[in-house]
């Protein structure tokens, strides 16, 4: 499962220079206003363990594998020294869209969140229309439903959104079978289907490709167990990929940027500009887009910002206990994939 080589570091080694943070968001995103994360320092540099709070230990253990992979194993060789990234537009009102896009200077692509439980289709359409107006006809728009629609609802929504010239639609439905069905239903509209949750939350990450249920894959370094495991998975699928973030600090984003730098073919802008959604970060030089690009580099957190963003003692204890449980999960031998 982990894709790690050699022995795992022990709990004491992981905690030698561990910091638990609670960082405010610029706007509510994915239902949260404060992002909690744990930073660790390995022999190859700083890394991040930040599964979302609601995830169970089995799922969160993959995130720990990703953190260990980046901190305790050398990153693969880079094929590029910078990565082009997209803007990310949360479920905001249309009049807020210009301010959101302004946080992503030079980005030619925007990913727009749709299908929220507290949003209607007409609100989604209005938001995407505002993004199209702001980007102009040459801009690229992709929408992310986070598996929020049934197949019938997805069909209606894609019909309503297709006039805005979508680059692709990400995870319109939950299951692989549903993705395959909606992909067949809308084939004539020429709107590609991207799979995210069907890859990173699946017991078999290859199933979506084997079922012909997606045109491309969204891959995230930390949730999928690390850079090396993702590169192996994507090579086996043969599908194009978009490297995206999991709302990490700049330390965690560096992991995704190194993954994107190592991908052989990178035809799409990557979802790695999300440091712009944080009101505070762990470095004075965060991985923010400049001219639509993010450089390939590791991030060293600033001691002052680590102290300023430190979580409460209770939350620190919670994360340490979670780390220990996830390390136990990784320590149990798993069948080879």
Catalytic residues: 113, 220
Residue 204 labelled as part of a binding site: no
Rg (C-alpha) for the chain, rounded Å, is 19
Question: Do 257 and 293 form a contact (C-beta atoms < 8 A)?
Answer: no
What does each C-alpha distance from 159 to 89, 153, 178 come to in angstroms? 21, 10, 17
Residue 178 labelled as part of a binding site: no
Query: How many H helices and E strands in the chain?
Result: 12, 12
Residue 170 labelled as part of a binding site: yes
The separation between the first and the last C-alpha atoms of the chain, rounded to the nearest angstrom, is 7
The three state secondary structure string of 169-215 is EECCCCCHHHHHHHHHHCHHHCCCEEECHHHHCCCCCCHHHHCCCCC
Residue identified by tokens 């994939």 is 337
Q: Can you tell me the distance from the alpha carbon of 110 to that of 129, in angstroms, rounded to the nearest whole number?
A: 12
Residue identified by tokens 């319109």 is 172
Q: Is 102 exposed, middle or buried (0-12, 13-18, 19+ CB in 10 A)?
A: exposed
Side-chain-side CA neighbours of residue 283 (13 Å): 20
Q: Can you tell me the distance from the alpha carbon of 18 to that of 41, in angstroms, rounded to the nearest whole number?
A: 7
Residue positions forming the annotated binding site: 144, 170, 196
Residue positions forming the annotated binding site for Mg(2+): 144, 170, 196
């Amino acid at each position: 499962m982990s894709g790690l080589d050699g022995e795992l570091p022990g709990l004491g080694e992981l905690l030698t220079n561990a910091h638990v943070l609670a960082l405010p968001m610029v706007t509510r995103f994915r239902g949260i206003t404060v992002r909690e994360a744990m930073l660790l320092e390995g022999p190859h540099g700083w890394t991040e363990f930040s599964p979302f709070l609601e995830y169970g230990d089995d799922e969160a253990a993959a995130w720990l594998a990703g953190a260990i992979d980046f901190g305790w194993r050398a990153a693969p060789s880079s094929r590029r020294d910078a990565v082009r990234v997209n803007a990310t537009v949360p479920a905001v009102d249309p009049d807020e869209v210009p301010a959101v896009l302004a946080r992503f200077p030079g980005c030619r692509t925007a990913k727009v969140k749709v299908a929220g439980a507290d949003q209607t289709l007409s609100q989604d359409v209005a938001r995407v229309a505002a993004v199209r107006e702001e980007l102009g006809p040459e801009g690229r728009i992709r929408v992310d439903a986070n598996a929020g629609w049934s197949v019938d609802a997805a069909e209606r929504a894609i019909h309503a959104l297709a006039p805005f010239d979508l680059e692709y639609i990400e995870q319109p439905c939950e299951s692989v079978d549903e993705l395959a069905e909606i992909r067949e239903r809308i084939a004539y509209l020429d709107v590609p289907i991207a799979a995210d949750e069907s890859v990173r939350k699946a017991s078999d990450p290859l199933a979506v490709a084997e079922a012909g249920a997606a045109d491309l894959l969204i891959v995230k370094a930390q949730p999928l167990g690390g850079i090396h495991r993702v590169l192996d998975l994507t090579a086996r699928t043969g599908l194009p990929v978009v490297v995206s973030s999991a709302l990490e600090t700049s330390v965690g984003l560096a992991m995704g940027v190194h993954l994107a730098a190592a991908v052989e073919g990178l035809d799409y802008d990557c979802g790695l500009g999300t440091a712009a959604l944080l009101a505070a970060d762990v470095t004075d030089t965060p991985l923010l887009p400049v001219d639509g690009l993010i450089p390939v580099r590791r991030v060293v957190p600033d001691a002052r910002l680590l102290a300023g963003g430190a979580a409460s003692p209770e939350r620190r204890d919670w994360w340490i206990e979670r780390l220990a449980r996830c390390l136990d999960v990784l320590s149990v031998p798993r069948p080879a994939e």
